Structure 1
Amino acid sequence: MHRLFPSEFFHFEAMRLLSFTPYEGCEIAEFLDAVGKIRDCDVESWYCAWMEAGVRAEEVAAEAEQAANREAARRAFLRASNYQRAAQFMLNGRNPSTEPRILRVSETSISNFGKAQYLMDAAVVKLEIPYQDITLPGYLYLPAPSKQLPGKLPILLNTVGGDATQEEIFFILPREGLELGYAVVTFEGPGQGLVLRRDKIPMRPDWEIVVTAVLDHIVEHAKANPKYNLDVNKFAIAGSSVGGYLCLRGASDSRVKACISVDPFFDMWDLLKGRVPEFLIHAFEAGGFVPDYIWEIFANIVSTVNPQTKWEFNHLRWMLGVQTVPDVFRRMQEFTFKQRDATNWLEKVKCPVFVTGAASSMYAMPEISTTKIYNSLAHLGEKRVQWIAENPYDGGYQSKVGALGLLNMKAFAWLDSVFDIDRKIPYKKMGRIDGAPSSKGNSVVDVPFSHVLGRNERDDCLYIAAQQKNSGVNIASVRGRQAGYR
């Protein structure tokens, strides 16, 4: 597969952004221009290139607004938001708790996303979800009337992961869900998005507590707003990577009726295996005889030669709310489905589960993540489904980067089956255009009736005024044929 950067880290993160092109989060020429300005593993060049792309997209959005071009303006605002999100992402590899650009650029990204929301076909409700002594930011999306399913709307609750934002994850399952008639809720909890950047609250492993608060709020919101037509008996939850772990925790709430867990981990501590020498893993697990400062020295040495490791250690300190690498290691071991009494935590999940794996992942290999989770869900029987992708074009990269369309197709086909949604493709009926004889012979073209511009009531024939240039064919009429309209 062609590589965008020599390093796996920058290549993957660039692919992550490029993946959003079909969903209005990226433009190919803008992307290639930015990538051409980035030096591999150079954080500042990454930041500057995507900030420049964001400014250019903002200018396009302003021009589109002046021209009253709603579609172009929405797309440009979405791209600006996504480029700005990508710009601040790499700053996490510095000292994110004291880097002022992270919050400032994040807020600009959110502002542009909000401008795009006003131009969407879907209705968008901004949520403030009560959680302890703060509120969690969220969005409720309602599909356009033309997209809605019969009856009340099933609800997809999409949790963010370890380094994404709710604005970014909109481009994946939520956007496709709206096209297919699902109501969608996204939110950011502790250790994520604004809750981390603004409120400085770290992530917690028992994510079911967070999901319960979100579900409570949505149920109350649905009762207070019956016009939204939400079906609170059809909640599905989804998440990717770290979010795949978090959504499985949330799926233990009995109100959740289906779970889509994309490339999760079984135990966060396992993510170090294969990246850190095994004897060091065992030494830390044994504890005691290696003082903490030695681990700090080790992490600093590795970070000096590996920019990805530096980014990961600094981001984990920030996300988990600790200061030292040994404390990162200890905190990571709390994010697990293992239990001290050797029981299976995943037995608390009673709803159907669709769990995926990525054989080309640079993080959670399927055998230590997806397969362990799938086996731990044996009590679900046929209600559990596993999909492990081998190659990048089949979804083999972490979080299905580069193959989001395939993820959407498989995930929603499964979710439709869980919710007994019988979906049909509404193929358009076709008309027949007969071309007059010419030097090139007769021309017959099938076109949808929606393209026909007029109707002659006298002889019940359909007419179109058109001319095929450079063919010598004058299109005279469109004859509607009752038998299949051909």
Structure 2
Amino acid sequence: MAGLFQDDLHNDFGSWPLAYIPFGGADFGEIQAVATAVADGDNDAFYSAWVAAGDRLTGEADASLSRGHSGSARSLYLRASAFYASSFHPLYGAPVDARIPAVYSKQIATFEKGLLLGPHPATPIAIPFGDTTLPGYFIPAEGFESEIRPLVILNGGYDSTVTDLYFLSAVAASRRGYHTLLFDGPGQGAMLYERGVPLRPDWEVVIRAIVDFVETLPIVDASRIALYGASLGGYLAPRGASGEARIAALIADPGTWGIADGFRPIAMRMFNLKAQDVADMGKLDSALIAKMEAFIRGNAQLNWKVVQRGFWTHGVDNLKDFLASAELFTMSGRAERIACPTLIAMAENDTLAAGATAFYEALTCPKTLIRFTAVEGADGHCEMRNRSIFNLRAFDWLDEKFAV
């Protein structure tokens, strides 16, 4: 399917805000205008076009606020944050491009300005985590801002930010009467961009700290805490729930068994290997890894996913160490520990959802598998071209589990 952006990698990221249209994060014409401005330009052009659009929206928000139109200013600031958030992903990698923390600062500033406006402001929170804190946001349920309500913890993946989570599902959850909590864990958002903290596989440690924190919030029903993970969050959230019994419901979109599993078929095809030969990708022969790395670096999208994003996020600088790290991110020996009702989402043409059925079958808890299809326009990764239908079905399921 032809995309708005001429470059495939640009289209991967530039199409994200399409998912946010029903939730106030963008409008189609604005995204199309950015694509036109980028044209056949490089990553610098992509970055500049999104930032220019974000700056324009921020200027409009400032002007609206100065005239007393706080509702319009709120919408414009939040929209600007989504545009800033769309600008920097092609620049990923170590050493860190200085433009990433710079524009991320703009993104968070406008996001927080937007959240602070309105009759029931949402403010930043700091979640105690070891000798530091995790940055996050508590978004109250619409119409129930000061009432005790169930909570949905929204868990991002490799490269989503709190702004993305807000428009992906927080707005929809709030409209349905759920309080929501957004956060950056190790290897995500501010933890990576500003503090250089890499991703970690034992996500149950992260979720335990978050649940400890939310149990102190007087308007959270601690008996009805749901955990939802998007993209790599489809691994992180289940891993978290496998070690945290206070999670009362789990949603994984898509259900993801582990990171290394995606590389095993590639190695088997490339080198005519058997399954037992790739049981531990970090122990592959160095010559084979060198050939695999050359293949990855020769494909712009794979190079971004593995070299630019993967190396940086995992805190490594070579493919062998990345694959060894990836092997630690697995639900093997953990899936059977999940006790709460679990929803596994599986989009038809999402390559990262290839193992969702097997994951579902391995679960021993009460479970539901929901498929999303091309006929519905919801077949891509995280149903990004039809987030409305995902949120409707996911929160219908959660309503039933929590008797909302």
Indicate how the Cα distance of structure 1 residues 296 and 125 shifts in structure 2: closer, same or farther if over 3 A, else same: same
**Are 1:412 and 2:403 an aligned pair?**
no
For residues 273 and 419 of structure 1, what CA distance do their matches in structure 2 show? 38
Conservation of the 8 A alpha-carbon contact between 2:151 and 2:179: yes
Where do 1:59-458 residues align within 5 Å?
Answer: 59-92=59-92, 95-144=93-142, 146-147=143-144, 152-220=148-216, 222=217, 226=218, 229-252=219-242, 253-273=244-264, 278-280=269-271, 282=273, 285=280, 290-291=285-286, 295-296=289-290, 298-300=292-294, 302-303=296-297, 305-312=298-305, 313-339=307-333, 345-361=334-350, 363-366=351-354, 369-377=355-363, 379-380=364-365, 383-391=366-374, 393-421=376-404
The equivalent of 1:22 in structure 2 is 22
For residues 62 and 230 of structure 2, what CA distance do their matches in structure 1 show? 33
Larger Rg: 1
Amino acid at match of 1:311: W
Deviations 1:321-357 (A, max 9, x none): 1111111111111111124xxxxx2111000011101
Shift of 1:52: 1.0
Conservation of the 8 A alpha-carbon contact between 1:19 and 1:403: yes
Structure 1 stretch displaced more, 113-122 or 173-182: 113-122
* Percentage identity across paired residues of the two chains: 26
Amino acid at match of 1:232: A
| SS of residue paired to 1:318 | helix
Provide structure 2 residue ranges, at least 5 long, that are not aligned to the other structure.
none
RMSD between superposed Cα atoms in Å: 2.3
Deviations 1:292-323 (A, max 9, x none): 6x6346524542x4221221121101111111
Conservation of the 8 A alpha-carbon contact between 2:160 and 2:189: yes
Indicate how the Cα distance of structure 1 residues 4 and 262 shifts in structure 2: closer, same or farther if over 3 A, else same: same
| SS of residue paired to 2:15 | helix
| Structure 1 length-normalised TM | 0.77
Shift of 1:290: 3.1
Shift of 1:235: 0.4
Shift of 1:276: 5.5
For residues 68 and 138 of structure 2, what CA distance do their matches in structure 1 show? 26
Amino acid at match of 1:74: R
Bigger fraction of residues in strand: 1
Amino acid at match of 2:174: L
Amino acid at match of 1:372: A
Indicate how the Cα distance of structure 1 residues 240 and 288 shifts in structure 2: closer, same or farther if over 3 A, else same: closer
Aligned length: 398
Indicate how the Cα distance of structure 1 residues 41 and 264 shifts in structure 2: closer, same or farther if over 3 A, else same: farther
Provide structure 1 residue ranges, at least 5 long, that are not aligned to the other structure.
340-344, 422-486
Bigger fraction of residues in helix: 2
Amino acid at match of 1:295: I
Deviations 1:441-468 (A, max 9, x none): xxxxxxxxxxxxxxxxxxxxxxxxxxxx
Indicate how the Cα distance of structure 1 residues 113 and 280 shifts in structure 2: closer, same or farther if over 3 A, else same: farther
Conservation of the 8 A alpha-carbon contact between 1:360 and 1:392: no
Amino acid at match of 2:172: E
Indicate how the Cα distance of structure 1 residues 39 and 264 shifts in structure 2: closer, same or farther if over 3 A, else same: farther
| SS of residue paired to 1:10 | helix
For residues 279 and 29 of structure 1, what CA distance do their matches in structure 2 show? 42
Shift of 1:100: 1.0
Shift of 1:120: 4.0
By relative contact order (CA 8 Å, sep 6+), the higher-ranking structure is 2
Conservation of the 8 A alpha-carbon contact between 1:121 and 1:143: no
Amino acid at match of 2:125: L
Shift of 1:56: 1.0
For residues 176 and 392 of structure 1, what CA distance do their matches in structure 2 show? 23
Shift of 1:27: 2.5
For residues 273 and 117 of structure 1, what CA distance do their matches in structure 2 show? 43
Conservation of the 8 A alpha-carbon contact between 1:129 and 1:137: yes
The equivalent of 1:42 in structure 2 is 42
| Structure 2 length-normalised TM | 0.92
